[in-house]
Structure 1
Amino acid sequence: MSSPNFIDYVKFCSRSGHGGAGYLHFHREKFIQHGGPDGGNGGRGGHVILRGNAQHWTLLHLKYRKHVIATNGNRGEEQDRTGHDGEDEILDVPLGTVAKRADTEEILFEITEDGKEYILTPGGRGGKGNAFFATSTNQAPQHAQPGEPGKEEWIVLELKLLADVGLVGFPNAGKSTLLSVVSAAKPKIGDYPFTTLTPNLGVVSYRDAHSFVMADIPGIIEGAAEGKGLGIRFLRHIERNSLLLFMIPADAKDIGVEYDILLNELRKYNPELLDKKRLLAISKADMLDDELKEAIKKELPTELPSVFISSITSQGITELKDLIWKNLH
């Protein structure tokens, strides 16, 4: 579930419709020369609405929409008829989308439910017609309200992938290889840094027809929280994961130091990430004998459940799935 067309950030101008004006009108018939007021209310302007859609997993379809404009409400009519409401502009977005105001970075809402709709930019209210203002002491009001103007604002949409397990590690830690082995996902794999330039999602089958979703996040480097490497562009995807699986290769110079660096980058980006459950997988374990494994175990963080794996030989893969499932449930 990866593509060069994966887009997780868009910015556009959202403009709702103006409300229709109320109508100033008096009832007239052949034998009724001085009928009462019957001007109707104006229709409301169209809203700009975001709707969660589980069939979408990228914001690509919105990449080139720089202006999203809803239509205006219609003017009220005679015989106390309300004008038609403006047509809403509904945008389907993937689950995990966060809507913000571009100028203030204020978070408006987060979309996590399929089919649920949120009004992003509300349309203007319709004006009242003169029939609304008729009273016992003012039986022929000579005024009606104009419609309320719509709003125009710049909006940012950010996508945070929804997954049960997020893979965290430096470039070339074996994250993409693991995902390709345990799921049907086909991420790009290569023996050089930053092979993965977009997040990948895969559904991992487990015992008794159970499954969970795993996300391969592009590699983190020291200083990522300050924008180095791929920067914080993909760190936000980790926020949505229920469990974080740290992956460090067996040939790392110091596994403990690498783990501390990764943890520190998450802390600097968002300290709340440290509240998530964490597991540690030592990848490329096929190059280790039992004696080396025992030596490495002594260096691992004692509070962290860990497992040695090899995606090439499938060593430890079943044990890893069991460990993940136990901590997810």
Structure 2
Amino acid sequence: MVKRRAKVAGARNETQTKRRKLESIYSNKPWLTLAHKKPRPEWVAYNPDNMRPPPLPVSVKFMKLLLWNVNGLHALMKKDDKCLTKLAQEEHFDVICLTETKLQEKQVDEIHASILPPEYKHSFWNCSSATPGFAGTAIISKIEPLSVEYGMGTSALDKEGRVITAEFGQFHLVVGYVHDSWERLVRWGLKTDDRHPSLSQHLKALEKKKPVIYAGDMNCANEDIDISNPEGKSAGFTKEAREAFKTDFLKKGFVDTFRHQHPDVVAYTYWPYRSGARARNNGWRVDYFLASQGLMNQVYDSYIRPEVMGSDHCPIGLIVKLESG
């Protein structure tokens, strides 16, 4: 009994220590620090308190989207089982996009019921059947999509649960999770391998019908401004990975909405757990909302919520004005 009490007390102390550490990170607001090895004079640190436009008037119809790489929903719930609920209530998101859910099909109903308010009635989960507890994506929505498609028609990749496409009235929404290894990226057809439908080809095919919004963790920092140490070595910042990102997405007409809105702002969405990277704001911007060029006049705000804890990634948001009729 004494050993059990000591074990419980030890676990409680560990939890309290982690909570105090997170509170310390939040109160110090490290994202306001321009953490970069080679900053340019015009660059400034991202401040979500004054770099977001004012709320739209109620007379304007819009959709509000959230993207978050949760790095395992079970792990997230153990840290804070109400964090998604609180975030949804704060921002009143219409659609929530999750990547790296790491769920199995049998876990979906229980998880969904426990993490979000009941108004999010429509949920679509793509779980990995190739490797249980691996990758995985989800779309959770207040609005019922016109149609939903899982995968891209490439059996080897579709088994990993990496893509969901939902059609809404004025655009297609594609949620994706791209592997962090360049060798795996080649499997997506992001270089010269066109034997299988690539993600960019999937987006362009959808775009023939209506504009596209892509929400996903690309595991690629596009420019020097998007990574705190551009001189370091990583699969997500190789010349090949960056060129593929530009060639297969940006040069094909898809716009990086955050960089479009904030051309000289240093902001990150991912901080490795090791070495206290988040407390020092040594991170990467690898989570994106990409939008068809034709939709950009309707993009009102593309933003980051760097203070939200629970994962090694933070959530990002997008507000799209809806045309009447």
Q: TM-score, normalised by structure 1?
A: 0.29
Query: Which structure features the higher share of helix residues?
Result: 2
Q: TM-score, normalised by structure 2?
A: 0.29
Return the index of the structure with the highest Cα Rg: 1
Structure of greater relative contact order (alpha carbons < 8 Å, 6+ residues apart): 2
